[in-house]
Amino acid sequence: SAVISQKPSRDICQRGTSLTIQCQVDSQVTMMFWYRQQPGQSLTLIATANQGSEATYESGFVIDKFPISRPNLTFSTLTVSNMSPEDSSIYLCSVSGTEGGYEQYFGPGTRLTVT
Amino acid sequence: GIQVEQSPPDLILQEGANSTLRCNFSDSVNNLQWFHQNPWGQLINLFYIPSGTKQNGRLSATTVATERYSLLYISSSQTTDSGVYFCAVVQRDSGGSNYKLTFGKGTLLTMNP
């Protein structure tokens, strides 16, 4: 398994601003993923971030709103841009490929409230 | 895309009771995971189970891939079992280089002491 940390753990932001969330893993991983969990809902994949290539976004998510960086095999960032109250969610990063398989492990999440 | 359906959506148990949670999926998958999201929001890996049966303490899981379902069994439930149980399935994309996890809506377990 992998140990995953996220910063910040929570934040309250004003509408129209942007927040960058960091995800750090304690070992090199092939695949990193970003998910959104809206209040009372399940998890929805935002994008897949592979090192050395552009992130792959799921339907309904665009790079201008959720730019992602993946500078190396242990780190990624997700920015939530031009926030509105509808962006209030938990944002989670996950990783897989630590043992060559599909199993995914999740970070503790970033709880974002937009006022 | 693939559909993942979980039942029941809500479950209330007395301590010591047993329960079975079900996950149905609409297409063949490369793998399947069960997670527990505790009341603090942390997602905990329970099982990584493409087929067959696995056991871990009071929990066990069975996946029948040919029939596209998986079951999670909780025995002798405790108050710490409260939270949401998610089933998620893995599929490769059409190009085969990427894969994704699609989650069901979860089962909310509430424990009565």
Ranges in chain B, pLDDT < 70: 95-97
- Kindly state the percentage of chain A with pLDDT values over 70: 96
Range of the domain at B101: 4-112
Nearest-neighbour CA in chain B from A18: distance (Å): 23
- The residue ranges of every structural domain in chain A are 18-98
- Of B45, B17, B51, which Cα lies nearest the Cα of B101? B45
**Interface check A30 vs B, CB under 8 A:** no
Q: Residues in chain B, how many?
A: 113
**Interface check A106 vs B, CB under 8 A:** yes
A18-98: CATH topology is Immunoglobulin-like (2.60.40)
> What is the three-class DSSP state of B40?
coil
Across the interface, whether the CB atoms of B33 and A58 are under 8 A apart is answered no
Nearest-neighbour CA in chain A from B105: distance (Å): 5
Higher-pLDDT residue of B113, A24:
A24
Say which residues have a Cβ less than 8 Å from residue A56's Cβ, sequence separation at least 6: A47, A48, A50, B98
- What CATH number should be reported for the domain holding residue B80? 2.60.40.10
| pLDDT at residue B103, rounded to an integer | 96
| pLDDT at residue A84, rounded to an integer | 97
Q: Is the pLDDT of residue A18 over 90?
A: yes
Looking at residues A79-102, what average pLDDT do you find? 89
Span A54-85, pLDDT tens digits? 899 999 999 999 999 999 999 999 999 999 99
| pLDDT at residue B30, rounded to an integer | 80
